[in-house]
Amino acid sequence: MRKKLKAVNKREQKAFLLGVVLLVGLATLGFAGLAHADQPAPLRMVLLVDNPNVSCESPAPGPLEVGQLGQTITVSAEDPIDFVTVKSSPDAEVVSAQFDTFEGQITLSKNITAYVVWTCPPTTTTSPTSTTEAPTSTTSSPTSTIA
C-alpha cells in the first residue's frame, strides 16, 4: 500500500509541476500580448486638399507616396490635378495650398506621412467617322389592279 501511495504522490507531484509550468507559460504569453496592446500605433487622419482650378467627374488615383515627408510637399502630374489626399496626425490642419493645373504645393500644421495625387483623365478627342454608302436604286414595275 505504501508503494501505491508513493506512486500516487509522485504522479501528483509531476502533475502539479506540469500545471505550474503551464500556468507560468500562459501568464508570460498573456503579459507579452498585453504589453503590445498597450502601445497602439499613432492615429492618422486623411485630409482632402482640393485644387479649385480643376474638377472632373471621375478622377484617377496616382501612386501612393509614403514616408516622413515633412510639413510641406510639392506635387506634380502629367494630367490635371483634381485633388490630393494627404495623411497626417489627427490634429493636422491645412496651412496653405497653392495649385495650378499640373502642380501644387501643400503645407500642413503637422508632418505628412503619405499622399496620393488624384488626376483627371486626359480628354480624348475622336474625329467623327464618315461612312460612305453606295447609292441604291429601286425600280418598281407598274402593277395592274383588276376590279
Per-residue pLDDT of the chain (147 residues; tens, 9 = 90+): 556 555 556 777 776 665 655 566 555 655 555 544 555 555 678 999 999 999 999 999 999 999 889 999 999 999 999 999 999 998 899 999 999 999 999 999 999 999 999 999 987 444 444 444 555 544 444 555 555
Q: For residue 137, what is its C-alpha cell? A: 436604286
Listed in order, strand segments (DSSP E) in the chain are 45-50, 60-61, 65-66, 72-76, 81-88, 94-99, 103-108, 114-119
Other C-beta atoms closer than 10 Å to the C-beta of 117 total 25
Global pTM? 0.56
Per-residue confidence (pLDDT) for residue 123, from 0 to 100: 73
Per-residue confidence (pLDDT) for residue 125, from 0 to 100: 40
| CA end-to-end span of the chain | 134
Per-residue confidence (pLDDT) for residue 54, from 0 to 100: 93
